[in-house]
Amino acid sequence: MDRMVLLLIIAAVASVVFGHVLEGGAVSALWNGPALLIVFGGSFLAVAVQTPLALARRTMSLMAWLIAPPQFSLDQLLSKLTICANAYRKDGILGLERMSQAEADPVMKRALVMLADGQPPEAIEYSMRLEIETHQEKDISAAEVFDNLGGYLPTLGIVGAVLGLMQVLSNLSQPEELGQGIAVAFVATFYGVASANLIAIPIAGRLRNFVQLRTRYHKAMLVGVMAMRDGVNPQLIRYRLEGMDL
């Protein structure tokens, strides 16, 4: 996993647990098996109900970014454009076809295929913009699955607390255990609120940042491809792209 993300999540959770200990609480008091089942089992199943299978798969694929963050840089893009431009000048359409077959990025691949087919610049630009917007919309929706999870977790935490209090209040014949029972009941609320705000919502925000970064990269790619088609010098392409904040 991305070390920075992992360290920040661990530090956030540890700060809450350490604060609990400083207040005189015991770490063992934060463990409650039934509360875990209610909060996490209920939340994940609720998200599964409202999430189509295709969207769930896309969300799982986006999570790979948390393990190996995508790298989008101006130098990387310029190198790719220069190689494609050289292939085009040297081998013409055959060079573009060869580059398109080896290209992994779907936006760049579509642009190279359309260039090789001799499509007009307006068609190439329209197609690339549509591809960029489609990927952005789908991946933002995939990242929002974690936002949905962040909404269910606190709610199921309250449900767990209510169920725990129902058990406590149904056994008032032992008032000496009332305080401990109430404390255990509120562990579910802790699970829900903490996991939503320390894990689910931050991950959703992190994934959205990656999507936005990739969108800016693809928009810069669009500018670069159109300039490459017009035979613009790579150094001039760099000047055009430097203001796009990759």
What pLDDT, in 10s, does the model give residues 152-188? Answer: 999 999 998 888 888 777 776 666 666 666 777 788 8
DSSP 172: T
Q: Are residues 24 and 105 in the same domain?
A: no
Residues 85 and 13 in one domain: no
Report which listed range, 6-10, 32-36, 191-195, is most confident: 191-195
Same domain, 24 and 35: no
- Cα separation, 100 vs 53, whole angstroms: 30
Residues 6+ apart with CB under 8 A from 192: 39, 43, 153, 154, 155, 156, 157, 158, 160
Q: According to the model, what pLDDT value does residue 16 have?
A: 84
What predicted TM-score, i.e. pTM, was given to this entire model?
Answer: 0.82
Residues 21, 94 within the same domain: no
Residue 1 has pLDDT above 60, yes or no: no
- Asked if residue 224 and residue 184 are part of one domain, the reply reads yes
**Distance from C-alpha of 69 to C-alpha of 62, rounded to nearest angstrom:** 10
38 and 109 part of one domain: yes
Domain that holds residue 107: 31-244
Mark whether 49 and 8 lie in a shared domain: no
Does residue 192 register a pLDDT over 80? Answer: yes
Total number of domains constituting the chain: 2
26 and 60 in a common domain? no
Does 177 or 16 have the greater pLDDT score?
16
Give the residue with greater pLDDT, 115 vs 40: 40
Contacts (Cβ under 8 Å, ≥6 apart) of 126:
none
Q: Are 200 and 149 in contact (CB under 8 A)?
A: yes
Does 43 lie in the same domain as 158?
yes
Q: Are residues 170 and 227 in the same domain?
A: yes
Are residues 65 and 50 both part of a single domain?
yes
Backbone phi, psi, residue 170, to 5°: -80, -5
Q: How confident is the model at residue 245 (pLDDT cuts 50, 70, 90)?
A: low
Q: Do residues 11 and 41 both lie within one domain?
A: no
